[in-house]
């Protein structure tokens, strides 16, 4: 006599098989769960890195939090990211409660750029320099007579700082005033082999720097033959103070 499967027993067997299969699936999910969590955390870290890298200014925690999922632990991610960049060419740093990437301090020298900024001279300084260049050796009183205005301390100080003028000597006239002239640095800066290479009247007219119809009595000395009366050389001991920038007496007003 053949035993006929009991329907109840058969149903229990099927349920048991289904439960075993579901248990195996759930076990697999438990193993995948931590892996998925790690991947999600890494993705948030990448997004945080991208936000900080692309920002034009440091970002605060609130701004970062608003760009990431609500459950993101920003503080923990910032600490992780800072650790990853600790020994790299750039680092994550906090500035006033905000975060940014910056060059590692020991590599800052690689990015240093040395530029020579041109210093624009005022009209007063240009006029004074031109008078000294063309009329040297020339005294301060003669400069003021030619310009028709007092020479300010600041104007001469600037020309001394640039090393374009220097005290030359003392005029053999009453009071023995100090005379001034240009320097080698002046020639080097303006590309002149000698003071005689300064442009004359015809050159200045051709360049459009002088009106073709000059007022009566106007003249420019020949730069190849500096004028001025005879002078004596300066005494290093008695006149040493003249070679400092702050060599003038009195506080004269600045020129416009």
Non-local (6+) Cβ contacts of 132 within 8 A are 138, 143, 159, 165, 180, 181, 182
The DSSP letter of residue 241 is G
Residue 230 has pLDDT above 80, yes or no: no
Rounded-to-integer distance, Cα 34 and Cα 100, Å: 30
Q: 74, 61 in Cβ contact below 8 A?
A: yes
Mean pLDDT (the chain) is: 76
Q: 12, 19 in Cβ contact below 8 A?
A: no
Rounded-to-integer distance, Cα 229 and Cα 242, Å: 20
So what's the pLDDT on residue 96? Answer: 79
Going 165 to 170 to 173 to 176, the CA torsion angle's sign is positive
Top mean-pLDDT range of 52-56, 203-207, 233-237:
52-56
Rounded-to-integer distance, Cα 203 and Cα 210, Å: 9
Task: State both tokens at 135.
Answer: 């009329």
Kindly state the average pLDDT of the residues 25-52. 74
So what's the pLDDT on residue 254? Answer: 41
Residue 62 has pLDDT above 80, yes or no: yes
E strands within the chain? Answer: 59-60, 90-95, 98-103, 138-139, 165-171, 178-182, 231-233
Residues 139-189 pLDDT 10s: 999 889 888 888 888 888 899 988 899 988 888 888 888 899 898 888 888
Q: 80, 45 in Cβ contact below 8 A?
A: yes
Kindly state the average pLDDT of the residues 184-204. 80
Top mean-pLDDT range of 19-28, 30-39, 121-130, 196-205:
121-130
Residue 94 pairs in a beta bridge with: 99
Rounded-to-integer distance, Cα 166 and Cα 159, Å: 9
Residue 70 has pLDDT above 60, yes or no: yes
pTM of the full structure = 0.46
Domains in the chain, CATH or no CATH each = 10-111 (1.10.10.10), 123-243 (1.10.10.10)
Residue 190: CB atoms within 10 A of its CB come to 13
Give the pLDDT band (50/70/90) at residue 46: very high
So what's the pLDDT on residue 75? Answer: 92
């Amino acid at each position: 006599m053949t035993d006929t499967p009991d329907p109840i027993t058969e149903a229990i067997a099927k349920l048991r098989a289904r439960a075993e299969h579901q248990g195996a699936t759930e076990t697999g999910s438990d193993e995948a769960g931590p892996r998925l969590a790690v991947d999600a955390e890494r993705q948030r870290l990448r997004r945080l890195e991208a936000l900080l890298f692309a920002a034009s200014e440091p970002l605060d925690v609130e701004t970062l939090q608003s760009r990431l999922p609500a459950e993101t632990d920003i503080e923990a991610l910032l600490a992780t990211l800072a650790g990853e960049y600790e020994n790299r060419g750039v680092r994550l740093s906090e500035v006033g409660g905000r975060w940014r990437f910056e060059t590692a301090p020991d590599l800052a020298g690689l990015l240093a750029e040395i530029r020579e900024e041109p210093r624009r001279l005022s009209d007063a300084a240009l006029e004074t320099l031109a008078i000294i260049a063309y009329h040297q050796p020339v005294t301060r009183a003669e400069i003021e007579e030619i310009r028709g205005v007092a020479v300010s301390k600041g104007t001469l100080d600037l020309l001394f700082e640039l090393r374009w003028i220097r005290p030359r000597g003392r005029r053999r006239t009453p009071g023995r005033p100090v005379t001034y002239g240009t320097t080698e640095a002046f020639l080097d800066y303006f590309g002149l082999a000698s003071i005689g290479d300064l442009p004359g009247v015809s050159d200045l007219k051709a360049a459009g720097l002088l009106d073709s119809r000059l007022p009566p009595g106007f003249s420019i000395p020949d730069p190849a033959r500096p004028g001025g009366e005879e002078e004596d050389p300066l005494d290093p001991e008695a006149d040493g103070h003249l070679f400092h920038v702050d060599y003038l007496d009195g506080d004269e007003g600045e020129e416009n």
